[in-house]
Amino acid sequence: MMSHHVFISGGGTGIGLATARALAPTGARFTLVGRDGARVQSAAEEFESAQGVSCDVSDEASVNAAFEAARDRYGTIDILINNAGITPSAPLHCMDLATWNQVLAINLTGAFLCSRAALADMYAKKWGRIVNVASIAGLKGGPYISAYCASKHGMIGMTRALAYEAAKRGVTVNAVCPGYVETDIVTKAAENISSKTKLTEDEARAMLYAGNPQGRLIAADEVASAIAWLCSDGAAATNGAAIPMSGGEI
Ligand code: NAD
């Protein structure tokens, strides 16, 4: 792989940061974006060619400004990883509209805005990769996560549609669909469950991964290595896929 410019939303933590680490040996240059500019900037410091840029993916102007900053520093975009996401949970009958709208705005509209901003570069070069970090919740339901499930099902629908549009232009669009991954999201979910039930945090974590037949949390590195493969030339025939990564759960 040449020295590609990789734009990663939510790139300062968890799966996004693990993805940058997985792609770094290819000589890639990175624009890592996230809401907390200082955090993404400090994450960027571990890489030879990387910058951190503050960006709220749900805000059109903020996304366009981040892409401008990305191109100013490292040129056109070759690879986009739509990874930013939030996971509030509540029974649907108790969910307020603001939460519902925010989940869709960040998890789904954010991926739309970033994809739209990146595609012209990829189409001009007749080469590009978009990898959407969806979830097993994009392929099946689960209690208390209706907004999250809707956003991730939507993301997979967008993946499949855009894959058709991009197919003859050298660009592939795929999704990875992990079960519960060992990141801040799981730590917060376990704390939340533990605060609302009699379960300890360890018991709450075990409950989260009970659906995974391998009976374990997935490592961020495992997700990152699948993403890195999807970004390689060898994955050129894989387009519109939604790859489950949950030990055989689906
Ligand atoms: P994480 O909390 O470390 O990462 C989420 C990132 O998104 C953070 O860096 C956060 O700052 C960023 N972000 C949130 N809102 C944003 C916004 N408005 N604009 C820009 N950035 C924003 O957790 P993670 O597990 O690494 O999550 C990454 C992705 O993986 C998410 O889309 C999540 O839905 C998905 N996922 C996670 C799991 C899991 O169990 N951890 C499982 C399946 C899918």
> In this structure, which amino acid lies at residue 244?
P
pTM for the model stands at 0.98
Are 60 and 109 a contacting pair, CB within 8 Å? no
Mean pLDDT of the chain: 97
Do 189 and 201 reside in the same domain of the chain?
yes
Going by C-beta distance under 8 Å and a sequence separation of 6 or more, which residues neighbour residue 195?
none
Please report, rounded to a whole number, the percentage of residues in the chain having pLDDT higher than 70. Answer: 99
Using a 10 angstrom Cβ sphere, with 0-12 exposed, 13-18 middle and 19 or more buried, the burial of residue 80 is: buried
Question: Tell me: the pLDDT tens digits for 41-73?
Answer: 999 999 999 999 999 999 999 999 999 999 999
Q: Of the candidates 165, 120, 158, 118, which has an alpha carbon nearest to the alpha carbon of residue 138?
A: 158
Do 199 and 146 reside in the same domain of the chain?
no
* Dihedral sign for Cα atoms in the order 194, 197, 203, 207: negative
Distance between CA 229 and CA 226 in Å, rounded?
5
Q: Relative to the CA of 188, which ligand 1 atom is closest?
A: 2
Q: Is residue 213 part of a domain?
A: yes
Do 125 and 135 reside in the same domain of the chain?
yes
For residue 2, is pLDDT > 80? no
Distance between CA 3 and CA 30 in Å, rounded?
10
Please give the radius of gyration of the chain, using alpha carbons only, rounded to the nearest integer.
17
Q: Is residue 31 part of a domain?
A: yes
Residue 238 is part of a domain; what is its CATH number? 3.40.50.720
C-alpha 168 – ligand 1 centre gap (Å): 31
Strand order in the sheet with 5-9: 50-54, 29-34, 5-9, 79-82, 128-133, 171-178, 242-245
Q: How many domains does the chain have?
A: 2
Q: Is residue 100 part of a domain?
A: yes
Question: Tell me: the pLDDT tens digits for 170-185?
Answer: 999 999 999 999 999 8
**Could you list the residue range(s) of the whole structural domain that residue 211 is in?**
180-217
Do 142 and 225 reside in the same domain of the chain?
yes
Do 158 and 60 reside in the same domain of the chain?
yes
Q: At what angle do helices 220-230 and 14-23 cross, to 10 degrees?
A: 50
Question: Tell me: the pLDDT tens digits for 147-171?
Answer: 999 999 999 999 999 999 999 999 9
Are 28 and 6 a contacting pair, CB within 8 Å? yes
User: What is the mean pLDDT of the segment spanning 195-202?
Assistant: 92
Q: Ligand 1: which residues within 6 Å by Cβ?
A: 9-10, 12-16, 34-35, 55-58, 83-87, 106, 133, 135, 178, 180-181, 183-186
Q: Is 180 among the catalytic positions?
A: no
H/E stretch holding 18? helix 14-23
- From residue 62, alpha-carbon distances to 54, 67, 117, 137, 172 in Å are 8, 9, 11, 28, 25
Please report, rounded to a whole number, the percentage of residues in the chain having pLDDT higher than 90. Answer: 96
Q: How many residues does the chain have?
A: 250
H/E stretch holding 205? helix 201-208
Q: Is residue 38 part of a domain?
A: yes
Longest dimension (CA), the chain: 56
Q: Which two tokens stand for residue 75?
A: 């040129």
Do 89 and 163 reside in the same domain of the chain?
yes
Do 18 and 135 reside in the same domain of the chain?
yes
Q: Relative to the CA of 189, which ligand 1 atom is closest?
A: 40
For residue 1, is pLDDT > 60? no
Question: Tell me: the pLDDT tens digits for 102-153?
Answer: 999 999 999 999 999 999 999 999 999 999 999 999 999 999 999 999 999 9
User: What is the mean pLDDT of the segment spanning 219-226?
Assistant: 98
Question: Tell me: the pLDDT tens digits for 10-30?
Answer: 999 999 999 999 999 999 999
Do 131 and 202 reside in the same domain of the chain?
no
Q: What is the pLDDT of residue 102?
A: 98
Do 171 and 203 reside in the same domain of the chain?
no
Do 131 and 201 reside in the same domain of the chain?
no
Q: Is residue 161 part of a domain?
A: yes
Catalytic residue among 74, 123, 144, 148: 148
Q: Is residue 127 part of a domain?
A: yes
Q: What is the pLDDT of residue 234?
A: 97
Q: Is residue 250 part of a domain?
A: no
Do 102 and 192 reside in the same domain of the chain?
no
Do 35 and 10 reside in the same domain of the chain?
yes
